[in-house]
């Protein structure tokens, strides 16, 4: 739950940063699904894993692009 809360906070910061809104909203969804998945519902655990994977890939791609500029 600590990681999910961290992703949620980072995503709020992303809304006003150099990352686009899609990345921020994907992170918000990841954080929310992560916090809800603590309840043990299998669907939220799966959704959290999918959203976290997508969020990490998008953030990594954006950081790579920022390094090229």
Phi first, then psi: give them for residue 19, nearest 5 degrees. Answer: -80, 150
Confidence of residue 17 (pLDDT cuts 50, 70, 90): confident
Q: For residues 19 and 38, give the distance between their C-alpha atoms in angstroms, rounded to a whole number.
A: 28
What confidence score (pLDDT) does residue 18 get? Answer: 86
Total residue count of the chain as it appears in this document = 69
In this predicted structure, what is the pLDDT of residue 26? 94
Quickly state the pLDDT bin for 59 (edges 50, 70, 90). Answer: very high
Q: Compute the distance between CA of residue 56 and CA of residue 58 in angstroms, rounded to an integer.
A: 6
CA distances from 5 to 10, 36, 61, 64 (A): 9, 11, 22, 24
What confidence score (pLDDT) does residue 1 get? 82
What percentage of the chain reaches a pLDDT higher than 70?
100
CB 49 within 8 A of CB 29: no
pLDDT beyond 90 at 40: no
């Amino acid at each position: 739950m600590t990681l999910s809360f961290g992703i949620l906070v980072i995503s709020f910061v992303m809304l006003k940063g150099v990352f686009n809104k899609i990345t921020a909203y994907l992170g918000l969804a990841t954080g929310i699904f992560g916090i809800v998945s603590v309840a043990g519902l299998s669907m939220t655990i799966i959704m959290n894993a999918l959203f976290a994977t997508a969020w990490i890939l998008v953030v990594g791609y954006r950081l790579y692009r920022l390094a090229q500029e």
